[in-house]
Every structure is written in C-alpha cells, then in structure tokens.
Amino acid sequence: MIQAIGLTSTPRAELPPAVDDVSFEAHAGRVTVLLGAPGAGKTTALGLMLELQRGRGVTYFRGRPLHRIPHPAREVGVLLGDVPGHPARTVRGHLRMLCAAAGVPGRRADEVLEAVGLVSLRDERLGTLSRGMDRRLGLACALLPDPHTLVLDDPARGLSVRENRWLYGVLRAHADQGGTVLCTTADPKEAARVADRVVTLDRGRLVADQDAADFARTRLRPRVAVRSPHAARLSALLTQEARAAQRSVEVVRESGNRLCVYGSTCAEVGETAFRNGIVVHQLADEVADMGPGAGAAGRAADDGAGPAPGTEPTAGESTPSTPSTPSTPSASTPSVPSDPRTPSPATRTPLHATADPLHLPATAPRPFPATAPQPSPSTAPQGRHPEVPAGPGTPVAAPDEDRKAPEESSDEDARPPGPRPRRAGDGSRGRRAPGAEGELPPPITVRPAPRPLRPLRYEIRRATGIRTGFLVGAGVLVVSALTAVLLARVGHTPQPRLLAAWPAELPLPPAALGAGLLGALAFGDEFRHPALAADRGTVPRRLGLLTAKLLVASVTAVVLAVLTVGCDAELLHLLYGPEVVRVPADWLRLGAGWLGLVTGCACAGVLAAGVFRSTTAGLAVVVAVPLLVVPLVRKAMEGLPARTPRSREDVPLRWPLAGEQHLEAVLRLVAQPVGSALALSLAALLCAYLLTNLRSRVR
C-alpha cells in the first residue's frame, strides 16, 4: 500500500509548484492510475514519492518512507522513462549487474528474461532495442528483485495495441497476486480500461480520486462518430428530431464531413440517415474525454444538479441550455452542466474509432473483468505479496474500500468472492508461452542477507560489461610502447622514465592518465547512463560502493602499470638490446613509486567523478594534480627548514621483518612533491565526497 501525503514540489523563481499538496492512496491488490494531461505534474509526483526531487510531503510504502527501508529495490520496482543503462551493454549483462546490486542470484536474470519474452534478445545491446522491447526490459528491471510495489511512469507510451495489452496484463497479474501497482497515463479511456482506481491531476492539484466505475460515469462521455458527404443536412435532421422528441442530443460538426453525436446511439443515427436517404461512410461508437473538471460536474449531477452524461431526461425535467451556432448545430438541452475548465464541444479533440469500442454509459458496468473484493487484513489470503502490518511508530492506514461498513460498500464489493481471473492471451496458442500476457517470473523464495562482496560483484560486472575499459587499456599500452621507442631513439632519457614512457614535457605518463580515465568512468559513466533503477541506487552510494569502486580501480591501475612497464621493456629489448632494460639497483623504491602514482591517479578519478558527477571533471582533476597542486606543494616545501634524517640506530622501536625500512620508504615517497600533492588531493576529494553524500541524505 502507498500513502502519499501532502506532496508539494519546490517552485522555481516565481512559477507555481508543479505539484501542490497532493495526497492519495494506492491499495495492495489494485491497479491505481495517476491521470493527467502532459504537464499536470504526474512525473514530478512520482519523483517526490521516490525522493528523487526536493519538496515537501511524505510517502509511505507499507508504513515506511523509502529512506527507512533497508532494501528499497526489494520493496519498490521503478520504471521512469527509458531503461537507464549504458547503450553498449547487453540485455543479460545489464540484468546480471542489477542482480548483484539487489543482492539476488544471477539466475534471476534468466527467469525474468523468459517472463518478459526477451530470451532471444539476451545478447543484444540496449541501444539497438525497439520501443516495445525497451519497455519489456524496463519492466524486467522493475520485477527483478520481486518487489511488492511497482511504480511506472507512462509505461505504455509509444507501444502498439498488442504490446499495450501485454504490459497491462502483467501489471494486472502482479496486482492479482497481492502487489501494489501505481502507473501514470494521459489517456482517460486507457485509465478506465485498466485501472481499479483513478487519481486525476490538473495543473499540479488533485481534482478527483475515484473508483474506475465512478470515473467512467463522470469523466467519459459516449458518442457516435458519423462521416457522411451530407454531414450538414444530417446534423440539421438529428437536431430537429431531438427537439421534436424533447431528447437531450448534442450534434457537433468537426473537421471535414465528420459529426459527433452525444446522447444518441448508432441505431438511431443510422435509422435517421436511412429514412432521409443520406449516405453514411462511417458509423461507430466512441468515448470522449470531458476534461479534468468533469468529475466535479458529474458528482454535482449525481447530487441533483442535472442528469448524468449519456442519460435522457424526461419531458418534464429542465436542463441547462447551450446556444447553438450555425456551423455547429446542436440541441438546446445538453445533458452535462458546463464547467469553466471543460473544453467546448467545438474545440474537443476528435478521437479515432477503434475496432473494439468502449461503451461506457452512466449505468454500464466496468469494461474490464470483475474483481473480487479485497478482504480485510485479518482475513486476507497469504498471496505472493501479503500485506504486512505496520510496526510500532508507523502511521496506520486510513479506512478504505476494503474495510467499509455494509451500508457504505460500493458496487465493487458486491462482486462474487474468489480470485480475479487472469486475462486471456492472444488465443493463438494452446498454452501460455514465455512473455505471454499476464506472465510473471517466479517469486524469490530465499533472499540472501547483505554480504560485503555484493557491491564488489556489482562493480566488477559494471566494469567488465562494456568494452570501454578494455579499449582504454589497449590504447594506453600502444601509446606507451610508441612513446618509449621514440624516447629511446632520441636518447638522454633516464631509464625509469624510459620504461614508464614518461617524457619530461608531459605532466603524467600515459598509464597514469589511462588509470585516471578508468577511475573517472567508474562514477561518471553511471551518472551519464544510470545503471541502477530510478537513478537512486539499490546499492547506495555510501562507503560500501565507494570502497568497491576504489578497490576495482586500484587493481585495474596496478595491472595496467605492470603491463605497461612489461610491454615497454620487452619492445625496447627487441629493438635496442638488453642494455636499455637493465634492472636498477633501487628497483623496489622505483616500483613502489610507480605503482603509487598510477593507483593514486585512479583513486583521484573515482572520487572526482563521484563529487562532480562527470567523467570529464574527474579526468580534469587528475591532470590538475601535477599542473596545479604540485607547484603549490613545492613552494610550500621550500619554506620549511631542512631536517637531518635520523639513522636506524636512533629509532627506539624496531619492527619485525625490517618494517621500519618499508615505512621509511613510504614516507619518503609521500614527502616528494608529487606524492604530497596526490595525498592532499585524495584527502580533499574524499572529504568532499562524504560531505556531498551526507548532504544528499539529509532532507
């Protein structure tokens, strides 16, 4: 169950807030649709609920706000926009990476792929998927950790009719098994067809919160669409007959030869055209949207202000009149009171007739299969997603339709008991195929506890899932080898710099720049192509993930540094003989300094990209260390008095295995200008990362 209370976005400048004091509930076992025109605030409301945007208000998911849930991905599955993944990553690789992030077994990726019908596309890149396959993959990402709640922003946008039916079939199956489903749409007919409850937003405010039956009765108005070469004559005849019979019929002349007749039926319009010899090219039932304010008008009609839409008042009833225009002949007694926010009939957007029209008169039942009443928590069956009672100190849900008194029960509560039947498939096969309508992946029976290797496994799969890291490493090796050969040919280059391919004119060697770039990609690539759902991170951006990224970046940097020196030495040995690659006497100190430089650049790239949220900024910080920080450190060290080093005999404490010698070597490395600059930069970046992380968690 979702409880959204007082959602209000932070306004910008003098503009009104995109969402202003919105409160509603989405109950378990039901599909709740957040309806509104583009710009009504639906996406902003979801962002406030998921704590992705700043604002006021609170949202409880089964009695707890999202930041109080230990594993948010296992509670809420989110799909906002397109799939937030790197376009070069494969479908299966992306899901396996998310499995590591959510702490579920890797085989869960194959189960979800089979459920959504993407097994044949498991090796395809995300950037090559079509719109329908992208929606399927997004739903697979949301279902991966088997969450109780699904939150989707306009999931059917751009889908075909078949894909639309499949998608809402899966959502209905999830709700039937006890889960909570909240999605958004801008189509009122779609909301009435797939939802159990419809929450309507208009300009950031809540204007209606209704059951689907009440919504269809008060917001959707049936009409007859007619196309005829004699549209003007047919319109006049229909208006004349309606006035003679004292019936509430409204005829609207639209573009071309199209008429929209409200308050009549296809049979009556067809008989009128036949009696008068008028040729009809189209005659179909449609449903028109009455605008966001029609719900209030419909409720007023129910209270006695006038007849409901689509009903015919008797001869003795008085109805409000609407003047007719020459170009739009209509009856003088329309059936719905006018509303200032409701568009006039002449400006309504025409709707295309469908092969399976939706008939929604005032007293018609809902157009989708009937559902069983949701039992109270004390008698609810233990399904796949049972509703757990709230713990101490958590808010208690307000009474809803599931716990109404007998005299307050709606017509939905009178439905026969029993589970809601699953929707049928396309009927082309005898048994349900993987990815068929209403198919769900099997539940996760065992959920392992968080382990220290979970962020590390995620980071390894993230780094190895695309070819960028391998291409950068290969490029570093090639550039280093060519640079070493050129330096050896020119001469006058010390052997350490020759093996590291580090000319005196460059601030850093190619290996250090490559390690810094790979470290910057660790966070920068995530911010550019978010790997985790909703850009929130089921693996939180805390010390666990930071430690995993630093460890993987350090190991990668060490491997790159060793391979660079080895390749350069082997190539120089082949071209110039063994004299060029002789092992120096102080190889241990030089090797430690070389590894420390490359590893420090990689860690600086990780921290800088995490702070500035950009790969370019991370690499710029790595280059700025020798260009800006090293000269400042040198100036600071010039003003310090020189100290005479102490001998080993003067050290009172002796470490085992000559540990004091290694410590002295490390201190000497840090005392160098480059080492001091790297140490200071890493300390400053770590403090900035922790500060920004703590600030983002405090709301």
Taking each helix axis from N to C terminus, what angle separates 543-576 and 453-464, rounded to the nearest 10 degrees?
50
The tokens describing 58, both together, are 């609170």
Q: Is the pLDDT of residue 373 over 90?
A: no
**Inter-residue contact 186 to 37 (CB < 8 Å):** yes
Residue 413: the pLDDT is: 36
Percentages helix, strand, coil for the chain (3-state, rounded to 5) are 45, 10, 40
Nearest-10 Cα torsion for 172, 176, 179, 182:
30
pLDDT tens digits for 259-270? Answer: 999 888 899 999
Q: Is the pLDDT of residue 180 over 90?
A: yes
pLDDT tens digits for 555-604? Answer: 999 999 999 999 999 999 999 888 888 888 888 888 888 998 999 999 99
Mean pLDDT of the region 398-427: 36
Number of other residues whose CB lies within 10 A of the CB of residue 284: 15
- Please choose, from the candidates 122, 31, 45, 141, the residue with its C-alpha nearest in 3D space to the C-alpha of residue 84: 141
Beta bridge partners of 76: 149
Three-state secondary structure call for residue 283: strand
Cα distances from 205 to residues 5, 42, 532, in angstroms, run: 13, 10, 30
- Please choose, from the candidates 356, 384, 390, the residue with its C-alpha nearest in 3D space to the C-alpha of residue 445: 384
| Domain annotation for the chain: domains and CATH numbers | 2-196 (3.40.50.300), 220-347 (3.30.70), 453-639+653-697 (no CATH)
Phi, psi of 90 (to 5 degrees): -75, 160
Least confident of 94-103, 128-137, 280-289: 280-289
Residue 338: the pLDDT is: 35
The tokens describing 651, both together, are 């050290």
Task: Give pTM, 2 decimals.
Answer: 0.70
| Burial group, residue 624, by CB count within 10 angstroms (0-12, 13-18, 19+) | middle
Q: For the chain, what percent of residues have pLDDT higher than 70?
A: 69
Phi, psi of 252 (to 5 degrees): -115, 125
Report the distance separating Cα 1 and Cα 401, nearest Å.
13
Residue 668: the pLDDT is: 57
Report the distance separating Cα 209 and Cα 202, nearest Å.
12
Three-state secondary structure call for residue 505: coil
Report the distance separating Cα 508 and Cα 678, nearest Å.
12
Instruction: Report the first-to-last Cα separation within the chain, whole angstroms.
Output: 23
- Please choose, from the candidates 290, 223, 301, 235, the residue with its C-alpha nearest in 3D space to the C-alpha of residue 263: 223
Report the distance separating Cα 690 and Cα 687, nearest Å.
5
